Chains A and B, each alone.
Chain A
Amino acid sequence: MPAPTIDAPAVKVLNRADLTKRLVTKLARDEAVVAGIGNTNFDLYAAGHRPQNFYMLGSMGLACPIAFGVALAQPERGVIALEGDGSILMALGCLATIGMVKPRNLTIVIMDNGIYQITGRQKAATASSADIVAIARGAGIANSHWVRDEKHFEELVSRRFDDGGPVLLAAKIDDKPGIAQTVRDPPLIRNRFMRGLGTGRASALDA
């Protein structure tokens, strides 16, 4: 089996919940965060709900397109997509679209555990041969990086998210499941997210 072609000489194996918490702590400007199906949204939810969080409960692979749409609609707001490696492998084309349009307010974080953890830990191509950072660079997202360790991650997310994008960060993570279960109420999730973005319908029910 060929070794992974990751460019960082020694990337540490990190933890999704820990990275997610570190990221959320850095958010200072009501950035929107869109988290993909399964563990990425569970760990975003576990990091503490924010009005600008969107949790996907289906539509595997669409975290980046959804975040891209938010970024187009609100060019002054930083937007972050949290996505699993299996999920982004299902939707690699969206990286080419994002690489072409180059939204400066979009950041993508790929949590790469090399497996489809939530469906039974089956191996993904990222475990052996597929390099998400190389793929993203090839798709036109030049600003794509492997995360070396926690400190490096903190450096990479200590920035304004409304400029400098598109950026893609990929972290090799352990095989732990998500640590909470998102509330399973899609209309509520959508409604609260829109209020968090200032686009919700105003009515007496908001009182």
Chain B
Amino acid sequence: MAWADSFLRTLKENDVRLVTYVPDNVLTPLIDGAAADNYFMSIGTTREDEAIGTLAGAYMGGLRGVAMMQTSGFALIANALASLVVPYQIPAIIAVSERGTLGEFNIGQVTVARTMRPTLDAIAVEHHTLSDEATMPFIVDKSIKQAFTTQSPVVFIFSPLLTGGNPAAAAKLR
């Protein structure tokens, strides 16, 4: 997948080596791509807040990282963001695959997805929705650099417009 290769390449260009994640179907090319590449240290965690905590510790130890999750996983990290990442000024890089919109079949995913951007806006965390392969390298590269330079987190939301969404979900739509 070109978007996944592009994202991993930009991570490398910015010395982001640690990948913590909870699996998601749409993110499979990112997660598998990182696992297959010796450059990355790839660690599956049991919860998304654990992925964020691990990232925070690694950053303070001098290792840059990214946490990958789906929208419902994002809903588990509000406290880790608001009481660790934001107050301690940790430049966490967070990749969220956007479920719950543009062809979702599961009402639970739809509802939880609606909490994501309001949560990020409420705690003033920078976020960018990636929907286009052409602009993605610029957005990701500049935002990662901005995050580390300004000691601030950034969230990349991978839109179905970019990823094509979950094929299994698409098959369930009528």
Chain A residues at the B interface, C-beta cutoff of 8 Å: 32, 34, 54, 56-62, 64-74, 77, 91, 93-94, 96-97, 101, 186-187, 189-190, 193-194, 197-199
Tell me how many residue pairs across A and B have CB atoms closer than 8 Å: 124
Contact status B58-A97, CB under 8 Å: no
From A34, A58, A101, A186, contact of B57 by CB (8 A): A34
- Residues of B within 8 Å of A186, CB to CB, are 87-89
Contact of A193 with B47 in the complex, beta carbons under 8 Å? no
What's the interface size class on B, roughly?
Answer: 20 to 34
Q: Mark B69-86, 1 if CB is under 8 A from A, else 0.
A: 000000000011011100
| Interface positions of B (Cβ within 8 A of A) | 18, 41, 43-47, 49-63, 65, 79-80, 82-84, 87-90, 151
- Given pairs A59-B49, A65-B45, A73-B58, 11 additional interface contacts (CB within 8 A): A66-B56, A69-B18, A69-B59, A69-B60, A72-B41, A72-B58, A73-B62, A93-B47, A186-B88, A187-B88, A198-B62
The reply to whether A69 and B88 form a contact with Cβ atoms under 8 Å apart is no
Contact in complex: B79, A197 (CB < 8 Å): no
Q: Do the beta carbons of A73 and B89 come within 8 Å of each other? A: no
Chain B residues with CB below 8 A from A94, complex form: 45-47, 50, 53
Q: Find chain A residues with CB under 8 A from B50 CB.
A: 62, 65, 91, 93-94, 97
Separation of A68 and B83 alpha carbons in the complex (Å): 19
Are A73 and B63 in contact, with the CB atoms below 8 A? yes
B19 → chain A, closest Cβ, in Å?
Answer: 11
Give every chain B residue within 8 A of A190 (Cβ-Cβ): 60, 88-90
Given contacts A57-B87, A97-B45, A186-B88, contact A62 B53 (CB under 8 A): yes
Residue of B nearest to A56 (CB): B84
